């Protein structure tokens, strides 16, 4: 993991949280317990701060940032899908941010709300609790059902368990120049 102190502020990482070696966590950041921070994630608390709750997954290549002297807040058991951007917003507990979605300045995503893949929640837009939104800009298309909550709770727990397994089970595989895998041989 790469943690950076910036102007005397340094990240605080909760117990059981996994931060990938290729993620960058900079400055005034607080990450709760048993979170998963995936490869390529960029979490910048350089002139603003970032607060992330417990058992939240920030998947691969996500970007989180805040405006000067302001805070980007992400609740407990939130899923932030691959390649998403959260900027100076509030994402409440259990929300699901789909892959490649953008949640912009001062937007609020409610408890158990779902932001569809590639969706844009625009500046100051408020998504009420348990709503499903899609599109650019985000428009409500449905309500989150109990069955959906049950299914996604299992996915959220899967990532929280993964955060505990990664530090012990993840290994770097080294190959020297004379070793080739099968696909390398076939391409020659």
Q: What share of the chain is helix, strand, coil (3-state, %, to 5)?
A: 15, 35, 50
Q: Of 73, 66, 32, which Cα lies nearest the Cα of 51?
A: 73
Residue-wise burial string across 23-50, b where 16 or more C-beta atoms lie within 10 A, e elsewhere = bbbbbbbbbbbbbbbbebbebbbbbbbb
- As a CATH number, domain 2-186 is 2.160.10.10
> According to the model, what pLDDT value does residue 103 have?
98
> According to the model, what pLDDT value does residue 183 have?
53
Q: Taking the model in full, what pTM does it have?
A: 0.91
Measured at the CA of 22, the angle between CA 51 and CA 58, to 5 degrees, comes to 35
Model confidence pLDDT, tens digit, residues 13-49 = 999 999 999 999 999 999 999 999 999 999 999 999 9
> According to the model, what pLDDT value does residue 49 have?
98
> According to the model, what pLDDT value does residue 2 have?
78
Q: Hunting for tokens 């391409």 — which residue is that?
A: 187
> According to the model, what pLDDT value does residue 1 have?
73
Across the chain, which has 188 residues, the per-10-residue mean pLDDT values are: 92 98 97 98 97 98 98 98 98 98 98 98 98 98 97 96 94 75 52
Number of other residues whose CB lies within 10 A of the CB of residue 174: 6
């Amino acid at each position: 993991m790469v943690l950076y102190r910036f102007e005397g502020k340094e990240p605080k990482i909760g117990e059981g949280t996994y931060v990938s070696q290729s993620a960058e966590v900079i400055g005034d950041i607080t990450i709760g317990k048993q979170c998963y921070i995936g490869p390529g994630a960029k979490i910048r608390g350089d002139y603003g701060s970032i607060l992330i709750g417990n058992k939240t997954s920030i998947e691969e290549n996500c970007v989180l940032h805040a405006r000067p002297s302001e805070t980007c807040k992400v609740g407990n058991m939130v899923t932030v899908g691959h390649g998403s951007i959260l900027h100076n917003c509030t994402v409440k507990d259990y929300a699901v941010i789909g892959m490649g979605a953008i949640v912009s300045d001062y937007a609020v995503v409610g408890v158990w709300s779902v932001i569809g893949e590639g969706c844009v929640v625009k500046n100051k837009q408020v998504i009420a609790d348990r709503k499903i939104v899609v599109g650019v800009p985000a428009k409500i298309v449905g309500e989150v059902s109990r069955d959906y909550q049950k299914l996604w709770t299992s996915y959220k727990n899967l990532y929280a368990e993964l955060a505990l397994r990664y530090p012990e089970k993840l290994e770097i595989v080294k190959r020297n120049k004379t070793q080739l895998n099968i696909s390398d041989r076939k391409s020659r």
